[in-house]
Amino acid sequence: MAISGKNAQYRIHDIQRRHWSEQAARIGLGALAGEEIVAEVLQQAPAVVESVYGQLPADFPMDLADSILKGILWQSERLAHMPAA
């Protein structure tokens, strides 16, 4: 799966905040709506991750959960420090 911009971005570390706005514009939502969605997702990410941790079954592999959920937080922080489109 790729995020479309001027060029398709396949690697998560190459995806920048502006790519989401470009994708939103490309599918008819508009760049402003795309940025609003990104801002909302970034604002809610920490609470969502905390909620997911609280809902995991006791026998769920914590190393797997940490890898995924900490990755979400890392990506959120990374995108939050990029300029809004």
pTM confidence score: 0.81
In a domain, residue 58? The reply is yes
Domain span holding position 74: 12-80
Q: How many domains does the chain have?
A: 1
Alpha helices in 10-83 (DSSP H): 17-26, 31-55, 62-80
Contact 73, 45 (CB under 8 A): yes
The pLDDT tens digits for 38-69 are 999 999 999 999 999 999 999 999 999 999 99
Say if 4 falls within a structural domain: no
pLDDT band at 6 (very low <50, low <70, confident <90, very high): low
In a domain, residue 5? The reply is no
Whether the per-residue pLDDT at 8 is higher than 90: the answer is no
Structural domain contains residue 40: yes
pLDDT computed for residue 70 by the predictor: 97
